[in-house]
Structure 1
Amino acid sequence: MGGARKLAGSFVVPGPCGVAVRDRLGHLTPRDEMVLRAVGAHQGRLASRDLKARCADGLGHGADTWAVRKRDLTKESSSRIAGAITKATHDQWALARRCQAAHIQTLEAGIRTLRHRLSLPVGEKGTKRAAGGYRSRGEWFRKSRRLAALEARHAAVVADRQAGRVRVVRGGRRLLNTRHHLAEAWLTEDRWRERWEAERWFIAADGESGKRFGNETIRVTPDGEVSIKLPAPLAHLANAGHGRYVLTTRIGFAHRGQEWADRIAANRAVAYRIHLDTGRGRWYLTASWQRPAVQTMTLSAARARGVIGVDTNADHFAAYRLDRHGNPVGGPRRFFFDLSGTAGHRDAQLRHALTRLIHWAVRVGVAAIGIEDLDFTTEKTREKHGRRKRFRQLISGIPTGKLKARLVSMAAEQGLSIVAVDPAYTSRWGAQHWQKPLATPRRTMSRHDAAGIAIGRRALGHPIRRRTAPPPHDRSDRAGHRTAQAGPGTRGREGTRPPTTDRPPGGPSPSGTRKREPSASNTVRDAPSTQQWVQDSLTHTG
């Protein structure tokens, strides 16, 4: 494999740094809903105006312009609400800049591929590492037009980035485009308008350590009482002192409730957000807070008890357990999920599959899960894969970003570490070195199962390939098979295996009796199979 690219080193993925829990605001009175809608619409207008001002500042933004914007917002709300709005605006602008940079990289990748293929003669075959020329003159002409379109688009995006311009839609660009396809979305104009307005509302507040219950704007007491500090123009709607409105409902977080109660009892910062799910007609309150930095487990500690290698696919996780020496233990495990349907259904399927994977990892006693550090950003362009539309849809459907975030946060709760490895050649080398040797009449090994072994071995720091067996003319009980694994520090690991008995080769048996030679006429010569050394982990079913 002289042409193989250099592999990146494995590393332990840092754990989560924040927590978010949600509870429903049930049994709200009509007045409660009226106040929440009024607050959300008023602060949403302020957030839209502030985002417009921030985008107009572009690269010229500084502390002075931020102070001016915050003072203008404070007049129509409060200092804390103004701070929350400006912080959300800065985060949204920064996210738009990162998306803009990723879009430029995607365009550049497509332009490079098109230029390369257009430079080749028509009909020239490609290789495993580079695509060939186009099939016909007509396809060559159409791709030349697409190259011109991508170059023009790239120049426009680069000019916007250099000037500090971004394209941001409060409420979401996808929902905005749905306005032109109401029939396909099964929405009426009124229903779309209600959803659009709800997405543009702003009812959120950052926490403040040292303040009462960790938040002055949206306050939640230990017994579940929720109150909101109303903005100045809506102060006449208050039903409590100091311009506050107390909701009639009570909440109690079922998940992490004790952790949340401990934080507010110590007056530590907790951020809150209230939003309306228009599809269900329900109001929800989300609480979030930061966690202290947790010391990440070292790579050697993560490898100490073995790992579980996981190969990510479009409809399942293929997992295999390996001991610390890199030996496969037991059989392959597959955790299926269905990524069709709504976003909520896809997210639930992914969480359910990860939950089963993590529970299995805890049950077998490993300390880490090895997974590929996947990123299909530049791998799903039609310029690279051409007519392979189904393949592009396949890799586009794998939720790599959400998968990593979910797996890291869920594994941290069970004390497991995530080891990310370079994904190069794991499927190819896994199938080459592990698929056939592990296949038995009772065990079906797929290419994905073998890739799970390759990922696990790379996470452990071992090479993917198995140890080389002796030459065929020397494959006998005298030398023994050399396919079993041994620790890197074991002496004689490259030598032949020892005999199966305690006596030296050719010496008398421990019982002192002599074995009778089998008769060649009526006995099947299977005696050497009792002397053959077999790798224990390949037959272990633990």
Structure 2
Amino acid sequence: MGDGLRVVGASFVVPGPSGVAVRDRLKGLTAGDETVLRLVGDHLGSLASRDLKLRCAAGLKHDNKGWASRKRELTGLSSSRWAGALTKATHDQWALARRGQAAHIQQLESGVNTIRRRLSLPLGERGSKRAAGGYRSRREWHAKTRRLGVLEDRLEQARADWAAGRVRVVRGGKRLLNTRHHLKQAQLAEEAWRARWEASRRFLQADGESGKRYGNETIRVGPDGEVSIKLPAPLTRLANTAHGRYVLTARVSFAHRGETWRDRVHANRAVAYRIHEDVQRQRWYLTASWTVPPVQTMPLAAVRAGGLIGVDTNADHLAAWRLDRHGNPVGAPRRFAYDLSGKADHRDAQVRHALTRLLHWATRHHLAIAVEDLDFTAETSREKHGRRKRFRKLISGMPVARLRARLVSMAAELGIPLVAVDPAYTSRWGAQHWQKPLTTSKRTTTRHDAAAVAIGRRALGHPVRRRTAPPRTHQRDGYGHRTVQAGPEIPGREEPRPRIPGPRTRSVPPGRGANAGNQNAQHRPGRSTEHGFWQQDSLPLRL
């Protein structure tokens, strides 16, 4: 744009999720069941590690011939279906590492370019709102030159790995692996860490297959909740039923989406299963997942017809405000707080509870929800924000990915449309144009509330600012109405608003102000009401 602002992207309706996953606990497992699950998981986990090593060694030279060779080798040590699940998991993990490598290169390039630009500026030169200035001291300039060399070395190595197709993957997680060297800080004993490490490296998952019994031949779950596993070839001696299968004593019954899952099982449609152990809680869980057909999204014009709810995402709460179809705030702003401290389960529950309250509010008013299409992958580097450690920590702590995934899934379940808008300048322009006008003696409008209004107006297709530029003259007949709050087709837009009794106008009796827009009902000079009830006096008795 000519004024230096970046182009704001168009709003769009967010498509629904492409898959569903539900989880249930395997209750009542015997010691023998747990032993069999660990043996099968450890055996398949070793095969998965070996196959991943071969896939990483192949790099960009991988082809169908190599994949078939690996699968034949795994089939003899497990089964044909287990081999298919292992090779698919290997390919998915390698592809994920490849995407992470590309993102890492992009972040390194951004940091190197930022440092180079700031080093080229004179010391102490002031920056702007869009770009940082020069470094403040010679000491900081020298430290950044050394950091630039480190980043350039990392970037060169990352680019070489990318060109060679070399990725680095740790089955079980790099963080858990590094915890082994810091057991005291993690307050873990070596035995406890070992149990977590072995549980994270087990492989007990199988993809579904339509047309087969109950949608999965490897891990089969019947409508009554019975779970049976096809044992690998070296462990068939552990089978307790025919055809080399082991039936668990535990039963599952999915409380969430149970009817949908049962319908798929009865119809022999594909359902993927995964069994894993939670070492800390000493529990076993079974997760069922399946794909859902894409749902036709509602047109954006239909979503805007009845207004919507603008939502501003923050580190500790969701700020929301309801807007009508003209972009006017309706009612009072709402705030849905959550606490992201503590363990991961607690943080996830907090986000889910806040979204549940937001969606229930939208359901009551039959409204869509407008959110920002946030992406902070390149916004958390210290090269971009310098010494603003608190701001970097604030951005890094925002649950953007988790909240986005949860919101899309939960909104699709309730049939609530989601509109994603470009997040450019929503907080700045919202505070500039809406924070002060919406602040009253009884309500303090925050910057986040004003940002929610800006997000909602952008989703509705209105400009963020409250008024357009005034016409060259005051002849509205020639240049149109000054505001964009109500179109010319809206009846009664020029009339004064009647005073409606309510909590803030308890002294106003009902019915007062009903004729506020009817000038003929007012006792004013020159109006017809002044003569409507006029009656000539009788003649005087004396002349």
Q: TM-score, normalised by structure 1?
A: 0.90
Aligned counterparts, 1:79-90, within 5 A? 79-90=80-91
Deviations 1:120-150 (A, max 9, x none): 0111111111111111111101000100110
Give 2:139's aligned amino acid. G
* Residues 513 and 378 (structure 1), Cα distance of their counterparts in 2 relative to 1, 3 Å cut: farther
Match of 1:520 in 2: none
Aligned counterparts, 1:327-476, within 5 A? 327-366=328-367, 368-467=368-467
Aligned counterparts, 1:226-305, within 5 A? 226-305=227-306
Q: SS of the counterpart of 1:438? A: coil
Contact kept in structure 2, 1:482 and 1:497, CA below 8 Å: no
Q: SS of the counterpart of 2:530? A: coil
Match of 1:527 in 2: none
The CA distance in 1 between the partners of 2:285 and 2:181, in whole Å, is 29
The CA distance in 2 between the partners of 1:264 and 1:147, in whole Å, is 57
Contact kept in structure 1, 2:311 and 2:320, CA below 8 Å: yes
The CA distance in 2 between the partners of 1:42 and 1:224, in whole Å, is 26
The CA distance in 1 between the partners of 2:223 and 2:529, in whole Å, is 77
Unaligned runs of 5+ in 1: 475-480, 516-542
The CA distance in 1 between the partners of 2:189 and 2:526, in whole Å, is 91
Contact kept in structure 2, 1:17 and 1:292, CA below 8 Å: yes
The CA distance in 2 between the partners of 1:71 and 1:276, in whole Å, is 29
Deviations 1:27-81 (A, max 9, x none): 1111101100000000000000000000011001111110000000000000000
Deviations 1:411-466 (A, max 9, x none): 11111111111111101111111111111111110000000000000001110111
Q: SS of the counterpart of 2:52? A: helix
* Residues 170 and 513 (structure 1), Cα distance of their counterparts in 2 relative to 1, 3 Å cut: farther
Give 2:485's aligned amino acid. Q
The structural deviation recorded for 1:86 is: 0.5
1:195 aligns with 2:211: no
The CA distance in 2 between the partners of 1:468 and 1:157, in whole Å, is 50
The CA distance in 2 between the partners of 1:365 and 1:294, in whole Å, is 19
Contact kept in structure 1, 2:319 and 2:449, CA below 8 Å: yes
Contact kept in structure 2, 1:274 and 1:285, CA below 8 Å: yes
The structural deviation recorded for 1:343 is: 1.1
Contact kept in structure 2, 1:212 and 1:267, CA below 8 Å: yes
Give 1:512's aligned amino acid. E
Give 2:517's aligned amino acid. T
Give 2:376's aligned amino acid. F
Q: Of 517, 528, 531, which residue of structure 2 is paired with 1:501?
A: 517
The CA distance in 2 between the partners of 1:341 and 1:133, in whole Å, is 39
The structural deviation recorded for 1:482 is: 6.1
Give 1:320's aligned amino acid. W
* Residues 224 and 491 (structure 1), Cα distance of their counterparts in 2 relative to 1, 3 Å cut: closer
* Residues 490 and 2 (structure 1), Cα distance of their counterparts in 2 relative to 1, 3 Å cut: farther
The CA distance in 1 between the partners of 2:143 and 2:262, in whole Å, is 63
The structural deviation recorded for 1:492 is: 10
The structural deviation recorded for 1:491 is: 7.5
The structural deviation recorded for 1:498 is: 4.3
The CA distance in 1 between the partners of 2:436 and 2:526, in whole Å, is 38
Match of 2:120 in 1: 119
Deviations 1:144-172 (A, max 9, x none): 01001101100000100000000100000
Deviations 1:275-299 (A, max 9, x none): 0000000000000001111111111
The CA distance in 2 between the partners of 1:226 and 1:317, in whole Å, is 41
The CA distance in 1 between the partners of 2:312 and 2:118, in whole Å, is 32
The CA distance in 2 between the partners of 1:21 and 1:369, in whole Å, is 25
The CA distance in 1 between the partners of 2:270 and 2:470, in whole Å, is 65
The structural deviation recorded for 1:497 is: 3.0
* Residues 126 and 27 (structure 1), Cα distance of their counterparts in 2 relative to 1, 3 Å cut: same
Give 2:36's aligned amino acid. V
Match of 1:490 in 2: 489
Match of 1:312 in 2: 313
Q: Of 497, 512, 517, which residue of structure 1 is paired with 2:530?
A: 512
User: Structure 1 vs Structure 2: percent identity of aligned residues?
Assistant: 69
The structural deviation recorded for 1:378 is: 1.1
The CA distance in 1 between the partners of 2:30 and 2:519, in whole Å, is 87
Q: SS of the counterpart of 1:437? A: coil
Contact kept in structure 2, 1:503 and 1:510, CA below 8 Å: no
The CA distance in 2 between the partners of 1:201 and 1:428, in whole Å, is 49
Contact kept in structure 2, 1:467 and 1:484, CA below 8 Å: yes
Q: SS of the counterpart of 2:112? A: helix
The structural deviation recorded for 1:468 is: 5.2
Q: SS of the counterpart of 1:208? A: coil
Contact kept in structure 2, 1:311 and 1:318, CA below 8 Å: yes
Contact kept in structure 1, 2:97 and 2:169, CA below 8 Å: yes
The CA distance in 2 between the partners of 1:501 and 1:42, in whole Å, is 82
Match of 1:74 in 2: 75
The CA distance in 2 between the partners of 1:95 and 1:362, in whole Å, is 36
RMSD over equivalenced CA pairs, Å? 2.1
The CA distance in 2 between the partners of 1:20 and 1:387, in whole Å, is 41
Contact kept in structure 2, 1:222 and 1:261, CA below 8 Å: yes
Deviations 1:200-255 (A, max 9, x none): 00011100000000000011111111000000000000000000000111111111
Match of 1:110 in 2: 111
Give 1:180's aligned amino acid. H
The structural deviation recorded for 1:507 is: 6.8
Larger radius of gyration: 2
Aligned counterparts, 1:99-248, within 5 A? 99-248=100-249
Contact kept in structure 2, 1:508 and 1:514, CA below 8 Å: no
Contact kept in structure 1, 2:468 and 2:484, CA below 8 Å: no
Contact kept in structure 2, 1:502 and 1:510, CA below 8 Å: no
The structural deviation recorded for 1:323 is: 0.8
The CA distance in 2 between the partners of 1:469 and 1:169, in whole Å, is 59
Give 2:82's aligned amino acid. I
Contact kept in structure 2, 1:303 and 1:460, CA below 8 Å: yes
1:92 aligns with 2:89: no
The CA distance in 2 between the partners of 1:483 and 1:502, in whole Å, is 23
Contact kept in structure 1, 2:310 and 2:321, CA below 8 Å: yes
Aligned residues: 504
Contact kept in structure 2, 1:218 and 1:228, CA below 8 Å: yes
* Residues 93 and 513 (structure 1), Cα distance of their counterparts in 2 relative to 1, 3 Å cut: farther
Give 1:497's aligned amino acid. E
Contact kept in structure 2, 1:214 and 1:268, CA below 8 Å: yes
The CA distance in 2 between the partners of 1:331 and 1:232, in whole Å, is 65
Q: SS of the counterpart of 1:113? A: helix
* Residues 470 and 118 (structure 1), Cα distance of their counterparts in 2 relative to 1, 3 Å cut: closer
